[in-house]
Structure 1
Amino acid sequence: MTRSELCTIRAARPADVPTLVDLVESAYRGERSQAGWTHEADLLDGQRTDVDMVRAAVTHPEGAVLVAEDRTKIVACCQLERRSGHAYFGMFAVSPVLQGGGLGRALLAEAERFATEEWGVGEMRMTVIVQRHDLIAWYERRGYIRTGELTPFPYGDERFGLPKRSDLAFEILTKKLG
């Protein structure tokens, strides 16, 4: 567990799963998400995640979900998964009303530290919807590089949302750590 001036960061527990689902949904989809700048509400309807997906992330033997708590509740989270030679970063969510205040930057830095010091990996990778230009620029300011490597959006799989456009794709971003 680490402490930043904004919150305490710790590993998620199975009991946190319902809270994490609500946090992720509030940050990405629907009307609540539009209080922040990182939402996908203009690109996708439907769910962003569900209890089964979050539970799988929390209990994954080669993964961790980090949560940031203020004095009363979980206000941010991210998923890490140890893969061959790198860590995958995903399910990054900050409460919409707290976005833009440095909490996301602090949690990302802690995720990078965790991947380096706890797992000994030298690279972080993530996928971001290519149409999310502001978010990609935010990651680039933190040292992430666009690879140009695209993967298709999982159209037809409602577990990942209901697309509002037909050209969605993910791009892999990467950063050398350490």
Structure 2
Amino acid sequence: MSSPSAAAAASSSSSSTRPEKKATVTVRLATVEDANNDVVLGQIHSVINRAYRSEGGWTTEAHLVKDERITKDELKEALVDKINPILLAFDSETHEPLGTLQLEPAEFYPDFGVYSKEGYRCDYVEQLPKDKQILFGLFSVDPAQQSRGIGRKLVEAGLVYAKESGRKQALVYVIVQRPELVGWYKRLGFTDFGEKVPFPDAGRLKDDDVHFSVLRLAL
């Protein structure tokens, strides 16, 4: 018969080799409660602006675009927007927000105009009406929580929402100076046809030729 100390040691050894349970990531649509909770609102606001405006952000535009990505007042309005709902990613243990993705019906999206730089040519011909397309915008992942699959979970949830809403194509606008982000979307199935659109607010730019590549995914 083994001694109590030996049994305890065996138990300790077993528990030390048992893999730790990792917190999962959950994704859901934003609610009025999120918008009205100052703590949650502040956390989401911080995630977005650190993702877009800090040097460590995976989706950072800090070297290209000035000012905040979104103000708290703008975010509060966006969180309760029923036409352009926002998906939120949360840590299942801490319940802190980890990322965002806005789902924007293309028929309501503003026209950024035509990209017309000399030598530019795109042979892509749009086949679907706008009300069959959906744009994924305000995509952010907490820079301190990268490599947890948060971005993929958000996009996958967005694609499910798009299909259930009767959309036939998803679009993303990616700043051309972020080729690694373009590559990430391609690995998720999006296609770059060479289509480009201008950046809408030139006064906020730090670079002379910041514009978007348009990537598309058939649903």
Provide TM-score, normalisation by structure 2: 0.69
Asked if residue 49 in structure 1 is aligned to residue 70 in structure 2, the reply is yes
Matches of 1:79 and 1:63, distance apart in 2: 6
CA offset digits 1:30-68 (Å, max 9, x no partner): xxx333433122222321112243233322232210101
The aligned residue for residue 106 of structure 1 is 153
Instruction: Flag the structure with higher strand content.
Output: 1
Matches of 2:192 and 2:105, distance apart in 1: 20
Aligned with 1:112: secondary structure? helix
Matches of 2:197 and 2:77, distance apart in 1: 22
The aligned residue for residue 45 of structure 2 is 21
Matches of 1:61 and 1:12, distance apart in 2: 10
The aligned residue for residue 215 of structure 2 is 173
Matches of 1:93 and 1:11, distance apart in 2: 15
Q: How far off is 1:106 after superposition?
A: 1.3
Aligned with 1:111: secondary structure? helix
8 A Cα contact 1:6 1:103, kept in partner:
no
8 A Cα contact 1:34 1:96, kept in partner:
no
Q: Over the residues paired in the alignment, what is the CA RMSD in angstroms?
A: 1.7
The aligned residue for residue 87 of structure 2 is 66
Matches of 1:106 and 1:87, distance apart in 2: 17
Q: 1:56 to 1:125 in 2, by over 3 A?
A: farther
CA offset digits 1:140-159 (Å, max 9, x no partner): 11111113222211212xxx
CA offset digits 1:100-126 (Å, max 9, x no partner): 231111111111111112x12121112
Which amino acid in structure 2 is aligned with residue 39 of structure 1?
A: T
Aligned with 1:115: secondary structure? helix
CA offset digits 1:74-122 (Å, max 9, x no partner): 11111002231111101011100112231111111111111112x1212
Matches of 1:61 and 1:101, distance apart in 2: 28
Worse-superposed segment, 166-175 or 8-17: 8-17
The aligned residue for residue 125 of structure 1 is 171
Worse-superposed segment, 71-80 or 53-62: 53-62
Matches of 1:11 and 1:54, distance apart in 2: 14
Aligned with 1:148: secondary structure? strand
Matches of 1:171 and 1:52, distance apart in 2: 29
Identity of counterpart residues, as a percentage? 34
| Number of equivalent positions | 164
CA offset digits 1:117-142 (Å, max 9, x no partner): 2x121211121111111100100111
Detail structure 1 runs of 4+ shifted over 4 Å in the superposition.
Answer: none
The aligned residue for residue 76 of structure 1 is 99
8 A Cα contact 1:146 1:171, kept in partner:
yes
Asked if residue 34 in structure 1 is aligned to residue 55 in structure 2, the reply is yes
Aligned with 1:45: secondary structure? coil
Q: 1:101 to 1:61 in 2, by over 3 A?
A: closer
Worse-superposed segment, 18-27 or 126-135: 18-27
Q: Which has the larger radius of gyration?
A: 2
